[in-house]
Amino acid sequence: MRVIVLGSGVIGVSTAYFLAKAGHEVTVVDRQPGPALETSYANAGEVSPGYSAPWAAPGLMAKAVKWMLMKHSPLVIRPKLDPAMWSWCLKLLANANERSYEINKGRMVRLAEYSRDCLRALRDETGIRYDERAKGTLQVFRTQKQVDAAATDMAVLDRFKVPYSLLDVDGCAAVEPALRLVKEKIVGGLLLPGDETGDCFRFTNALAAMATELGVEFRYNTGIRKLESDGRRVTGVVTDAGTLTADSYVVAMGSYSPTLVKPFGMDLPVYPVKGYSLTLPIVDPAGAPESTVMDETHKIAVTRLGDRIRVGGTAELTGFDLTLRPGRRGPLDHVVSDLFPTGGDLSKAEFWTGLRPNTPDGTPIVGPTPVRNLFLNTGHGTLGWTMAAGSGRVVADVVGGRQTEIDMDGLTVARYGRSAAAASRPTVGGVARPAA
C-alpha cells in the first residue's frame, strides 16, 4: 500500500525503512532540509533499554523541589498560561506511585529491549555504522540513598530478565577506568551491560540513505499543515507543496503530533520537555568514558561517540521555546568536568537544545488509532533513540496487518481511554503546527 510518514527524525525514518522493507510505497514529509535535524540531532547517544524508566516515580514531588533548589539543577519549570502544560504535570504526578511506576517501567522495558534487538539485527543485516559501541550503561550513585533506591528498578529488571550488576566504587572504576581519578565522588553504580551507544544523527542519515535505495521518497523543506478527512478516515495531508494522498498515514512528529491529530478527537498527552547537550572533542582518551556514564544525582549522561564526548540531560518545561539558554549549560559543564576532568576540551564544545516529546506515564504512543488508516509513533521522551528501531518495526507490522512480535498492550493510545482516543467522528481540517 501507499504510506505517508510525517516526520523525518529517527522515529519517522525507522518507520519508513521498515515499511519499505515490508514492500510498501513510502513517502516521508518534513519541514527540515534533511533527516534528524531537530530532536534526533544531538541527543545523549544512549541506546539504553535497561535504563528505561518513567520520570513519574514515587517521591517525584519531593525530588522535583530538591532538584530545582540545586546549584546545578536538572529541572527548570518556566510557568506559562498553557493548559496543556498544567494538565500534563497533573497527569505526571498522578502516575508517581509505586503501582503505576512498575506498570509503566515494564511497558517501557518491553519495547526498549525489543528495539535493541531490532537494532542489532539491522546492524548485522546492513552493516550500518554510527560510532556505535556495545559496552553498557553505568549509572553512578553519589549517595547511599541512591544505591538503596535502585532496588525498585532492579526488581523490574529481574522480572524482565534484563542483566545488571550492582557495583561498589572499585567495580565502577573497573568498568570505566577514567573514574579512578574521581573515586571519592561516587559510592557505587548499577551496570547495565546490554545497553549500547551511538550517534543518532549519523544513524538516521545512514538509514535514510538505505531507505531511499529501497524506494522511499523524502520530501524535505515541506511544511505540514493539516490532515483532511471524509468523516471516517484520513483522505490526505495538506502541505506547503499541496495535498498528498496515500492509503495510510503515520504521525511521527514528536512534540508536534498532538495538534495534528486533535481534530480527530484524540487529546494526546504528549508535551515537549526541553533538553540540552554538549558535544566536545576527546583530548585524553584514557580520561574519557568508555561507554555511557549516567550521573544519577544530576540526571545527565556522558557518552563516548567515536572521538567525541556527548553530554546530555536536564529538563526544562517551557513549551515550544527553543531558545538556547547559556545558563542551562552549567549542569552539563559541571558533570563532565567533575567526572571526566581530563577527557575533553570544553572550550570547543557544541551547545545544543531540542524538544523531547514526553508522555506523563513515560510510555510512547505507538500503533493504531480509532481512525482506521491513521497510526501513531510518538511520545518517546528521552528514549526515542533507544526505542526507534523497535517502534518503527511494530508500526510497520501494524500498518501492514501483520502480527507484532511483542505484546502491544499498554503501548497504544487506547490506554488513555476515551478522553484521548475517542475520535467519534473526525472533523475536516484543523491547522497544525509545522512538522518536527
String of DSSP letters for 253-293: -GGGHHHHHGGGT-----EEEEEEEEEEEBS-GGGS-SSEE
Q: What is the pLDDT of residue 42?
A: 97
Express as a percent the part of the chain with pLDDT over 90: 82
The answer to whether 54 and 38 are in contact (CB under 8 A) is no
pLDDT at res. 50:
82
Could you tell me the pLDDT band of residue 426, with boundaries at 50, 70 and 90?
Answer: very low
Per-residue pLDDT reduced to its tens digit, 151-183: 988 988 888 888 999 999 999 999 999 999 999
- Mean pLDDT score of the chain: 92
The x, y and z cell numbers of residue 7, run together, are 516526520
Checking if the pLDDT of 427 tops 80, the result is no
Q: What is the pLDDT of residue 365?
A: 98
Residues annotated in a binding site for FAD? 3-17
Specify binding-site residues.
3-17
**Cα angle: 91, vertex 424, 404; to 5 degrees:** 70
pLDDT digits (tens, 9 = 90+) for 353-381: 999 999 999 999 999 999 999 999 999 99
- 428/329: higher pLDDT: 329
Give the mean pLDDT of 114-122.
96
What φ, ψ does residue 315 adopt, rounded to 5°? -135, 130
Residue 194 pLDDT more than 80?
A: yes
At 15 the pLDDT is 98
* pLDDT, position 392: 98
Which has the higher per-residue pLDDT, 357 or 427?
A: 357
pLDDT mean over 210-230: 97
The two beta strands, 350-358 and 365-368, are unpaired
- Quickly state the pLDDT bin for 418 (edges 50, 70, 90): low
Could you tell me the strand order of the sheet in which 2-6 lies?
217-219, 25-29, 2-6, 248-251, 374-378, 365-368
pLDDT, residue 159, reads 84
Residue 300 has pLDDT above 80, yes or no: yes
Q: Which residues contact 334 (CB under 8 A, 6 or more apart)?
A: 72, 298
More confident residue, 153 or 326: 326
pLDDT confidence band for 420 (50 / 70 / 90):
low
pLDDT at 70: 78
The per-residue pLDDT for 436 is 36
| Cell numbers standing for residue 319 | 513549551
- Could you read off the pLDDT of 43-52 as tens digits, one per residue? 999 999 988 8
The mean per-residue pLDDT over the stretch 229-244 comes to 95
Assess contact for 27 and 272: CB atoms under 8 A.
no
Per-residue pLDDT at 273 exceeds 80: yes
pLDDT band with cut points at 50, 70 and 90 for residue 435: very low
Is the pLDDT confidence value at 200 over 60?
Answer: yes
User: What is the dihedral angle through the alpha carbons of 235, 374, 250, 313, rounded to the nearest 10 degrees?
Assistant: 130
How far is CA 208 from each of CA 10, 31, 219, 230, 395, rounded to the nearest angstrom? 9, 16, 12, 32, 17
Give residue for cell 535493541: 116
pLDDT score for 81: 86
Lowest mean pLDDT segment, chosen from 210-224, 387-401, 422-436: 422-436
Length of the chain measured in residues:
436
Full-model pTM: 0.92
Question: What's the mean pLDDT in 65-75?
Answer: 78
Cβ neighbors of 393 (< 8 A, separation 6 or more) are 14, 18, 114, 115, 118, 405
* pLDDT range class, residue 86, cuts 50, 70, 90: very high
